[in-house]
Amino acid sequence: MTRKTIKLDYLARVEGEGAFKVVVRDGTVKSAELRIFEPPRFFEAFLRGRSCLEVPDITARICGICPIAYQMGSVHAIEKILGIKVGGPLRELRRLIYCGEWIESHVLHIYMLHAPDFLGYDSAIHMAKDHGDIVKKGLELKKIGNEIMTILGGREIHPINVRVGGFYRVPARRELAPLADKLKWARDAAIDTVRLVSTFDFPDNQRDYEFVALRHPDEYPLNEGRLVSNKGMDIPIEDYDDTIEEVHVEHSTALHSHIRARGAYFTGPLARYSLNFDRLTPTAQQVAREAGLGETCNNPFKSIVVRAVEVVYACEEALRIVQAYEPPDRPFIDGPMRAGSGCHATEAPRGICYHRYTIDDSGSVTFARIAAPTSQNQPTIEKDLTSFVGDWLDLPDKELQHRCEQAIRNYDPCISCSAHFLRLDVDRGQG
């Protein structure tokens, strides 16, 4: 039996630290492990004993790239316990700030982390030397996502204005108004982005995934919806724990998720798009079709195109909200403390983000559980590698290594979130 090991010490352009190992024997992939050794920070433990009103400030710190996702999951779950229903302009403002995060996070991934793979550069900084206009446009687009976060949230990273029941302070019409022209530019820049990334050269790798995403009667999902899949799942969030289990494996400080009946599943832009194409705006649908995407997409390498389509959607949705905005009477809805349990899931840029809390009658947290999208996708990432690496074994070692990195980067893995360093280790079993 031939034996050979290919090693890469640090997978770059992902958020967090991990490692990877593929074992190949006689031309067949025997196993693939995504090792995550991001040091655990124990959020679910130290949330116990905190006031439920402090939770969104604390959970934001799980992730610097998608703090709104953690704030939205926790405020919605806690509001369910307290019997608070947030509607009208407050609900719209929450969609708006989430659109800001989608734009900022997706554009970061498209231009800074993912595009350099397709254009053959180590980073966007290196890419800027030859493609200055592309990188500048990306930065300008990302900045508009961050501006939404800053106006509504106070700052782009760990916003301070999200509160159980709404916001601490809501903007006046004139504060949001300047965003309208910027968002019109951003929508056009996002359309250009779809056109640009759709010309990249994609490996022809796809699998029959179980896509899992939220689905809402009228909207492309952000904060609300039932949990559905293309393999028959259609449940309220309250049934999440009965349907999906978390497993602790030795090679990861992020817990793996499995659908109890069927195993690994796929959450994030590809799943959201494939299950909710009909909820996109007509422009986003048209741009997707022109880019050669069907109503579903099973090639994870094309996730960069799907992310760009979602940026078009987020810009249009944000523009709609800004133009229709009338400030609410009060910045937040209040309610008396009461004991209970509640759960909620929202669509973070990287997929389903699930939260469950129990609080006592003084409003102190007695139990907290949070499932991050990347930890849910870990088994699927491993299966992608197991399935795809076989097709790539003719590639020279360096290219094979890079291709594996890309297969992981397709998921925009946020390892800091899920529990960081990806080390790639391909054991071909030769020499």
Partner 1 sequence: MPAQKPRLAVWKFASCDGCQLTLLDCEDHLLAVAGAVDVAYFPEATRGEISGRYDVSLVEGSITTTHDAARIQDVRARSNILVTIGACATAGGIQALRNFANVKEYISIVYARPDYISTLATSTPIAAHVKVDYELRGCPIDKRQLIELISALLAGRKPVTPAHSVCLQCKLKGNVCVMVAHGKPCLGPVTHAGCGALCPSYDRGCYGCFGPKETPNTVSLSRQMAHLGMDEKNIKRVFSTFNVNAEEFRAERQRHDS
Those residues whose C-beta lies under 8 Å from the C-beta of residue 181, and which sit 6 or more positions away, are none
* Residues 103-132 interacting with partner 1 (rule: CB under 8 A): 108, 112-113, 116, 122-126, 128, 132
Q: Within positions 257 to 316, which residues make up the interface with partner 1, using CB under 8 A?
A: none
Cβ-Cβ contacts under 8 Å for 34 (sequence gap 6 or more): 18, 19, 20, 251, 252, 378, 381, 382, 385, 408, 422
Q: Say if CB 384 and CB 207 are below 8 A apart.
A: yes
Distance in angstroms (rounded) separating the CA atoms of residues 279 and 240: 23
- Binding segment (CB under 8 A) for partner 1, from list 41-49, 182-190, 294-302, 342-350: 41-49
What is the rounded CA–CA span in Å between residue 424 and residue 172? 50
Q: Which amino acid is at 327?
A: P
Q: Which of 140, 219, 239, 295 binds partner 1 (CB under 8 A)?
A: 140
Stretch that binds partner 1, among 36-44, 192-200, 259-267, 314-322 (CB under 8 A): 36-44
List Cβ neighbours of 398 (8 Å cut-off, separation of 6 or more). Answer: none
Instruction: Tell me the three state secondary structure of residue 347.
Output: strand
Q: State how far the Cα of 309 lies from the Cα of 190, in Å rounded to an integer.
A: 8
Sites for partner 1 among residues 144-203 (CB under 8 A) = 146, 154-158, 160-161, 163, 167-169
> CB of residue 176 vs partner 1: minimum separation in angstroms?
15
Burial annotation 41-79 (CB, 10 A radius, 16+ → b, else e):
eeebeebeebebeebbbbbbebbebbbbbbbbbbbbbbb
- Please state, in angstroms and rounded to a whole number, the distance separating the CA atoms of residues 299 and 203: 8
143 vs 320 by CB, closer to partner 1: 143
For partner 1, the closer of residues 215 and 409 by Cβ is: 409
Which residues in 11-30 contact partner 1 (CB under 8 A)?
A: 11-17
Tally of CB atoms within 10 A around 393: 13
Q: Which is nearer to partner 1, 52 or 271 (CB)?
A: 52
Q: Which of residues 372-411 bind partner 1 (CB under 8 A)?
A: 405
**How many other C-beta atoms lie within 10 A of the C-beta of residue 180?**
13
**Three-class SS of 195-248:** HHHCCCCCCCCCCCCCEEEEECCCCCCCCCCEEEECCCCEECHHHHHHHEEEEC
Binding segment for partner 1 (CB under 8 A), chosen from 23-31, 88-96, 142-150, 198-206, is 142-150
Question: Is the Cβ of residue 70 or residue 301 nearer to partner 1 in the bound state?
Answer: 70
Per DSSP bridges, beta strands 5-11 and 422-427 are antiparallel
Q: CB-wise, 140 or 239, nearer to partner 1?
A: 140
Give the CA distances from residue 66 to residues 37, 75, 100, 351, in Å, rounded to whole numbers and listed in that order.
Answer: 20, 15, 10, 11
CB of 144 to partner 1, least distance (A): 9
**63 lies in the binding site for partner 1 (CB under 8 A):** yes
Sites for partner 1 among residues 196-255 (CB under 8 A)? 247-250, 253, 255
The residue within the footprint of partner 1, chosen from 35, 95, 106, 142 (CB under 8 A), is 142
- Shortest Cβ distance from residue 95 to partner 1 (Å)? 19
Q: How many residues bind partner 1 (CB under 8 A)?
A: 71
- 339 near partner 1, rule: CB under 8 A: no
Rule CB under 8 A: choose which of 85, 136, 262, 338 binds partner 1.
136
Nearest approach, Cβ of 212 to partner 1 (angstroms)? 22
Taking the C-alpha atoms of residue 99 and residue 103, their distance in angstroms, rounded to an integer, is: 6
Query: Alpha-carbon distance 397 to 427, whole Å?
Result: 11
**Contact region with partner 1 (CB under 8 A), list: 46-54, 177-185, 308-316, 371-379:** 46-54
| For partner 1, the closer CB: 159 or 351 | 159
Whole-angstrom Cα distance, residue 134 to residue 147? 20
Among 4, 7, 27, 45, binds partner 1 (CB under 8 A): 45
Does 420 participate in binding partner 1 (rule CB under 8 A)? Answer: yes
Q: Measured from the CB of residue 11, what is the shortest distance to partner 1 in angstroms?
A: 8
Q: Which of 24, 32, 62, 194 binds partner 1 (CB under 8 A)?
A: 62
Question: Contacting partner 1 (CB under 8 A), which of 92, 235, 421, 430?
Answer: 421
Please say which residue, 4 or 10, places its beta carbon nearer to partner 1: 10
> Under a CB-based contact definition with an 8 Å cutoff, are residues 422 and 11 in contact?
yes
Q: Which is nearer to partner 1, 396 or 431 (CB)?
A: 396
| Least distance CB 146 / partner 1 (angstroms) | 6
